[in-house]
């Protein structure tokens, strides 16, 4: 990790750049695949599955037989762990349910709001070197609680044409209605346009690489909603001399092993801690199975020394981290004043991994600074808020004149007439 001492504000934007390709580098490929899937459906999906995943599939729908096989391949210990995580995630997301909001805004004017589930949702679950069955929990559990009717899951097949058993087991456990062996841009295009085997959905959820992120953003141009732009994983830790250097190093490496384009940042008011963490990183890195991936991510990462907590907080809010760990003598200052973060982890015994798996919060979070405007996935992500209103005769008399005056001032005579006709009818 590169160490930077007391950077001036003018250099912050450059220092905090993510190690990602620009959209321009990726968009051409995404558009080409979208156009082919829109035109040729499953034929195009099959072509790109063979190209990117190295497997030609006669049928990309996961069968009941494959699900049964997966149930037998997952160890009992892992099943227990998945169930514990599911219970905690369920408890946290169930608690997010809100009652109908009802207000009589004026005498005879009743307004209310109700949440209704999004009927068709598409979940994208990365596979590859790290099959993220935990993401199935994070997406399918709230979708099920919200009451979504169709919960479709796409995940790339491995070289044998299979989806990881833990992904299939978890999907089956969480009420996924259809599982399809397809990944990458072609999966998002399938969700966007619909093919012979991939249903068109109303909203797409799930993390992915930069190509998937751009594909999701492109899908919005065709009327499909997305959860958020969620690309390569990132973590920022703020720590001082009260922190445990080995804990901090382990947290930084836990994100670095996600992918070569991941980024981790340490911000500290202690040069001593920065030095200790860097030594710990070298020690822990050497024994990681994904050492080469983590090394590349660490090369894109930084340790930043600043003089005080106020400067640190300002820099962190400028960055807007996906994951934010606070291990300082002044945790409350950061917790109370953080404005831009996807999810916050507080204290020496709250590793980011807890949120990734089993504490109950959702790990599908905004990256690349989008935490400045986007929330992470939550129960409301799978619902729409619909407003209702019911106006009585007395109600239209109470607000009718105001509506007439406002409509006339805007030059919308038909709007005014819609009220005037009713008011005249009541005068009879």
- Return the H-helix or E-strand segment holding 365: none
Residue 336 known to bind ligand? no
State how far the Cα of 324 lies from the Cα of 310, in Å rounded to an integer.
16
- CA–chain centroid gap for 288, Å, is 27
* Size of the chain, expressed as the number of residues it contains: 428
Residue 410 known to bind ligand? yes
Closest CA to 206 of 237, 242, 167, 240: 167
Residue 14 known to bind ligand? no
Closest CA to 154 of 289, 35, 37, 20: 37
**Do residues 124 and 224 lie in contact, with contact meaning Cβ atoms separated by under 8 Å?**
no
Is 352 one of the catalytic residues?
A: no
Closest CA to 189 of 49, 298, 391: 49
Identify the residue whose tokens are 């991510």: 297
Residue 258 known to bind ligand? yes
Buried b (16+ CB within 10 A) or exposed e, 231-242: bbbbbbbbbbee
Q: In the structure encoding, which two tokens stand for residue 203, read together? A: 């909203």
Task: Name the catalytic one among 93, 323, 352, 363.
Answer: 323
155 φ, ψ to 5°?
-150, 140
Q: Name every residue whose Cβ is closer than 8 Å to that of residue 233 and which is 6 or more positions away in sequence.
A: 207, 255, 258, 259, 262, 322, 323, 367
Residue 186 known to bind ligand? yes
Residue 255 known to bind ligand? yes
Closest CA to 399 of 102, 101, 110, 113: 110
State how far the Cα of 97 lies from the Cα of 47, in Å rounded to an integer.
42
Task: Name the catalytic one among 280, 322, 352, 363.
Answer: 322
**Do residues 330 and 309 lie in contact, with contact meaning Cβ atoms separated by under 8 Å?**
yes
Is 323 one of the catalytic residues?
A: yes
Question: Which residues are annotated binding-site positions?
Answer: 124, 186, 209, 233, 255, 258, 323, 356, 410, 415
Question: Which residues are annotated binding-site positions for NAD(+)?
Answer: 124, 186, 209
For the annotated catalytic residues, the residue numbers are 322-323
Question: Which residues are annotated binding-site positions for Zn(2+)?
Answer: 255, 258, 356, 415
């Amino acid at each position: 990790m590169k160490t930077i001492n007391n950077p001036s504000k003018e250099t912050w934007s450059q220092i905090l750049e993510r190690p990602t390709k620009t959209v321009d580098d990726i968009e051409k490929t995404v558009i080409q695949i979208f156009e082919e899937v829109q035109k040729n459906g499953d034929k195009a999906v099959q072509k790109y599955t063979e190209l990117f995943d190295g497997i030609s599939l006669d049928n990309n729908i996961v069968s009941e037989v494959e699900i049964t096989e997966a149930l037998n391949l997952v160890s009992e210990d892992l099943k227990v762990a998945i169930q514990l995580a599911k219970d905690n995630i369920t408890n946290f997301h169930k608690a997010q349910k809100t009652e109908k909001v009802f207000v009589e805004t004026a005498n005879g004017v009743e307004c209310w709001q109700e949440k209704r589930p999004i009927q068709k949702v598409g979940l994208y679950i990365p596979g590859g070197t790290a099959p993220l069955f935990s993401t199935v929990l994070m997406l399918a559990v709230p979708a099920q609680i919200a009451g979504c009717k169709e919960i479709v899951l796409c995940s790339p097949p491995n070289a044998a044409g299979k989806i990881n058993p833990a992904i299939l087991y978890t999907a089956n456990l969480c009420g996924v209605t259809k599982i399809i062996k397809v990944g990458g841009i072609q999966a998002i295009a399938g969700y966007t346009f619909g093919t012979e085997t991939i249903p068109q959905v109303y909203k797409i959820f799930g993390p992915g690489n930069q190509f998937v992120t751009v594909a999701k953003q492109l899908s919005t141009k065709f009327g499909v909603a997305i959860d958020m732009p969620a690309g390569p994983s990132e973590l920022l830790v703020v720590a001082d001399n009260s922190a445990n250097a080995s804990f901090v190093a382990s947290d930084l490496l836990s994100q670095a092993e996600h992918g070569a384009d991941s980024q981790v940042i340490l911000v500290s008011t202690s040069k001593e801690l920065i030095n200790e963490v860097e030594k710990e990183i070298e020690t822990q890195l050497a024994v990681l199975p994904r050492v080469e991936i983590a090394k590349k991510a660490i090369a894109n990462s930084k340790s930043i020394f600043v003089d005080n907590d106020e400067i640190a907080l300002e820099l962190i809010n400028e960055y807007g981290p996906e994951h934010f760990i606070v291990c300082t003598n002044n945790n409350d200052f950061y917790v109370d004043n953080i404005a831009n973060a996807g999810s916050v982890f507080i204290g020496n015994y709250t590793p980011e991994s807890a949120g990734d798996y089993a504490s109950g919060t959702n790990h599908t979070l905004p990256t690349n600074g989008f935490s400045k405007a986007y929330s992470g996935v939550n129960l409301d992500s799978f619902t729409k808020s619909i407003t209702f209103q019911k106006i009585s005769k007395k109600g239209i008399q109470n607000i009718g004149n105001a509506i007439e005056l406002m409509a006339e001032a805007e030059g919308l005579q038909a709007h005014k007439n819609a009220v005037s006709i009713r008011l005249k009818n009541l005068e009879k």
